[in-house]
Structure 1
Amino acid sequence: MEALKAPELYAPALPSGFATLARLWHYEGAGAWTAWSLSSRPSAIDASPLRIRKLVWDRPGESSRYAPPPAPGKDGPTPRLTLSEGRFPVESWDALLQEARTLRVPPLLLETESPPGGARDCTGFAYHLATRTVSFEWWGEPPEEWKDLAAWSARVREMLDAWARR
């Protein structure tokens, strides 16, 4: 689902001049898939140039639209997505980044065992810099070394949810 990889580009796309600062996602194994983007327009005159876009695909609610699955080589129905938007205070984002800077997160881990099979949640966070992107993604429970990042990411998603509904 390409739209969930870049909610800021989902139609109608944000106006020109916006740059993505961060993207978060939580794809429930047996539930909805949700992605958030936080974007800024550095030249904005308004008091809150940060924009939130939240995109939700209600997978379970659409399962009947895909039964039976399309024939090989045929496209199925286009998934229906729900878009929410809002503004996010710059001060809140700055405080979250200050907190994130204190986290100690090893980028590479030695995986000692395979996670159990079945439907699992996929969660992730990507932070965009001018020429780089740093991202973390995990299935099911995060690795022990990433628990603090997972908790921080959950708080960010909750805050973005609250502001996207305003």
Structure 2
Amino acid sequence: MSSVPASPESAHEHEGDAAEPRLLVTDADVPREPWNQLVAEVEALRIPAFNFGESRVGTDGVRYGVEFKNFSRTLRFDWWYKPPKGWEEFADWVTKAIDLFETSLAASDTGEER
């Protein structure tokens, strides 16, 4: 069995059929009281900061994380796919924060396509 390479013209025939990449940028105000409640909840959590768990390798999945900054300090926790042991309550808190952000974005229709 032999194959014949496609001509350069046929290789470009369908390029115009693909949708152009788009980026939708949206921001929204987060209601102060629910956010303050979430901050109070996370401040009360105890997280084993140096419990990284076993090393994982993966090519897909979701990264989760939180970063707080002020003038002189930065605090960052993040993980891929499943949180390390002992971070389960924190992961639940992150889910609540994501839900608040998503709800706030859904209430806003200020998306701007770029």
Q: What residue is the counterpart of 2:50 in the other structure? A: 108
Q: Give the TM-score normalised by structure 1.
A: 0.48
Matched, 1:86 2:11: no
Amino acid at match of 2:42: A
The correspondence for 1:98, drawn from 40, 59, 63, is 40
Deviation sequence 1:9-33 (CA, Å, 0-9, x none): xxxxxxxxxxxxxxxxxxxxxxxxx
For residue 81 of structure 2, what is the aligned residue in structure 1? 140
Q: Does 1:131 align with 2:56?
A: no
Counterparts of 1:1-166 in structure 2, within 5 Å, are 80-109=22-51, 111=53, 113-166=54-107
Unaligned runs of 5+ in 1: 1-63, 66-76
Residue 162 and residue 97 in structure 1: after superposition, are their counterparts in 2 closer, same or farther (change >3 A)? same
TM-fit CA distance, 1:110? 5.1
Structure 2 CA distance, aligned partners of 1:101 and 1:110? 20
Q: Give every structure 1 segment of 4 or more consecutive aligned residues whose post-TM-superposition deviation is greater than 3 Å.
A: none
Aligned length in residues: 90
TM-score, scaled relative to structure 2: 0.67
Q: Which runs of 5+ in 2 are unaligned?
A: 1-17, 108-114
CA separation of 1:130/1:90 partners in 2, compared to 1, >3 Å: closer, same or farther?
A: farther
Q: Helix, strand or coil: the match of 1:114?
A: coil
Match of 1:143, SS? Answer: coil
